[in-house]
Amino acid sequence: MKQFDIFATSPTKTVAIIGGGPAGLMAAEEIAAAGHRVSVYDAMPSVGRKFLLAGVGGMNITHAEPAEDFRARYSANSQFINTLKQFDSVALRNWVHGLGIETFVGTSGRVFPADMKAAPLLRAWLHRLRGLGVTFYPRHRWLGWAENVGEKKNKELIFSTSENGNASTKNITPDAVVLALGGASWQRLGSDGAWVPLLRERSISVNELVPSNCGFDVSWSEILRDQHSGAPLHGVGLSCIDVQNMPRSVLSEAVISAYGIEGTGIYALSKYLREQLNQNGTALLNIDLLPDFPLDKIVQRLNKPREKNSLSNFLRKQFNLSPAKLALLREITTKQTFENTDLLALAMKRLSLTLTATRPIDEAISSAGGIAAKELDAAFMLKKIPGVFCAGEMLDWDAPTGGYLLTGCFASGRAAGFGVVKYLRDIN
């Protein structure tokens, strides 16, 4: 018996889901399956837009690493982590299979649909939701609550809408609400953080939304920026020290950009680098250009006769250094470093790059911060606004790319959905 079956005898109620991303749609599924009338409102012309864009180049649903390691990737309160125990990566894969979409585990442990695409999964999901009676209202932007008193206080919602091409406002008074409006990254897809002042007006504590899984600014020379912007740094070791003086490292890749540095490995360390920036004004990123070479082996090769090769050509031949890696080495070190074998070997193992700022939040893959944990009860309902539940990136948690972000949204949406069903049963 599914968990929602225990609530199936509750009288039918009306529920508004605000936000048509994975968290909102998952909440809609659980609530509709319990027999309630569910309406999904979204400001965009269609739902799931960020979900679809995240699937460009390969829909990474979740990650197949052991459960304890999986949960350790998240920065969140214990309540949020508990949702990942209730709906982990195995449960998410089984749910996807239930939609008729097969999955596979890539060599890195990341989980993908068999065809690598997001659109078929979303289509199958929306078909299921419509079969459960879920109604969708696109182009409905939530403006907050109506000023009211008595039984309707904090229940009547206002939307601006352009239905039928005519701009107007619409008021609704559902029995329960799920807010799943996302964070503040990729604003063109609807996640613009416009909900923050609406909640703060109701005395809800919302921690500042900040960029996560983002790039960073670096003061490059004009030569490096002009000649190597967009160049990848494959197979590098990236590391930093977090604000608790703990080492953090990843073997991955990065990309030199016109403004600084970005890429998969940078995103994995972005939380720690961002916190460094907040505390110190700058952050230090260490780059190992030759993670497969121990220091003594590098020194040994540097001491080989160079013959007629230039130093750059010699380094390229001995270590297979790309032009971008060579340029980065020259950018960060001095002439004296290249004249001293020991210093050059150390530099190739540990280039220290100073980061001056995160990129703007709208460029980030995700955002951290959000509704403070103290504002929510165990079912993700706002303590100060009974009947209003929250899920997804609106909550204060952080996770890297690699399927963790989506899993967190699915799991919290499901938990909020169950919370709504229980709430509706209890208020009868």
Which tokens in the block code for residue 122?
């979303």
Q: Where are the beta strands (DSSP E) in 282-390?
A: 283-288, 351-355, 357-358, 366-371, 388-390
| Model confidence pLDDT, tens digit, residues 98-122 | 999 999 999 989 999 999 999 999 9
Using CA atoms, how far apart are residues 428 and 420, in angstroms rounded to an integer?
13
Give yes or no for residue 150 having a pLDDT over 60: no
Map tokens 């995103």 to a residue. Answer: 267
Using 50, 70 and 90 to split pLDDT, how confident is the model at 149? low
| Model confidence pLDDT, tens digit, residues 15-53 | 999 999 999 999 999 999 999 999 999 999 999 998 988
**N-terminal to C-terminal alpha carbon distance within the chain:** 23
Residue 222 φ/ψ region, left for φ over 0, alpha for ψ in the -120 to 50 degree band, beta for the rest: alpha
Using CA atoms, how far apart are residues 180 and 144, in angstroms rounded to an integer?
14
User: In the chain, pLDDT over 70 holds for what percent of residues?
Assistant: 95
| Model confidence pLDDT, tens digit, residues 190-199 | 889 999 999 9
Q: What is the mean pLDDT of the chain?
A: 92
| pLDDT score of 7 | 44
**Residue 259 DSSP symbol:** S
| pLDDT score of 56 | 74
- Alpha helix (H) ranges present in 40-166? 49-54, 67-72, 78-86, 89-98, 119-131
Going from N- to C-terminal start, the domains of the chain cover: 12-210+364-426, 216-358
| pLDDT score of 151 | 56
Given a contact cutoff of 8 angstroms between Cβ atoms, the answer to whether 408 and 80 are in contact is: yes
Using 50, 70 and 90 to split pLDDT, how confident is the model at 235? very high
The dihedrals phi and psi of 66, each to the nearest 5 degrees, come to -55, 145
Residue 115 φ/ψ region, left for φ over 0, alpha for ψ in the -120 to 50 degree band, beta for the rest: alpha
CB under 8 A, 24+ apart: contacts of 314-320: 319/289, 319/290, 319/293, 319/348
Give yes or no for residue 152 having a pLDDT over 70: no
Which residues make Cβ contacts (< 8 Å) with residue 246, sequence separation at least 6? Answer: none
Helix (H, G, I), strand (E, B) or coil at 6: helix
- Nearest Cα residue to 200 out of 65, 7, 382: 382
Which tokens in the block code for residue 367?
């955002």
Kind of pairing, strands 62-63 and 110-113? antiparallel
Class at the top of the CATH hierarchy for domain 12-210+364-426: alpha beta
